[in-house]
Amino acid sequence: MGDDDEPEDAERVVELPTTDVLDLHGFLPRDMREIVGTYLDAAWQAGFVQVRIVHGRGVGVQREMVRQLLAGDARVAGYADAPGDAGGWGATVVTLRPRP
């Protein structure tokens, strides 16, 4: 490893474009609050009216975590299971309030 190389365990920040879908597969449950909050910030600022958060089916732990976060967010007008062809109960469709 040279002087300019980062240590292998260094945290890296990757910025991705904001789309109307957030897929939580691959993220740790302990990071859900920050990831979902940051995503909602970006989606709301971008003017999205509806977004989909993919949390997977599993036993429903991440689904409940996501929905608790949504229930406490003033930007969220409502949320429900996604249609079957968009993930069903493995994803949540979120309706955002318009920006003032």
In a domain, 9, yes or no: no
Contacts of 93 (CB under 8 A, 6+ apart): 50, 51, 52, 79, 80, 81, 82, 83, 86
In a domain, 60, yes or no: yes
In a domain, 68, yes or no: yes
In a domain, 30, yes or no: yes
CA angle 11, 16, 22 (to 5 degrees): 100
Read off the pTM.
0.82
Total number of domains constituting the chain:
1
In a domain, 3, yes or no: no
pLDDT (tens digit, 0 to 9) for every residue of the chain, 100 residues total?
Answer: 445 555 566 677 777 789 999 999 989 889 999 999 999 999 999 999 999 999 999 888 899 999 999 999 999 999 999 999 999 999 999 999 998 8
In a domain, 65, yes or no: yes
In a domain, 8, yes or no: no
* Residue 45, domain extent: 25-91
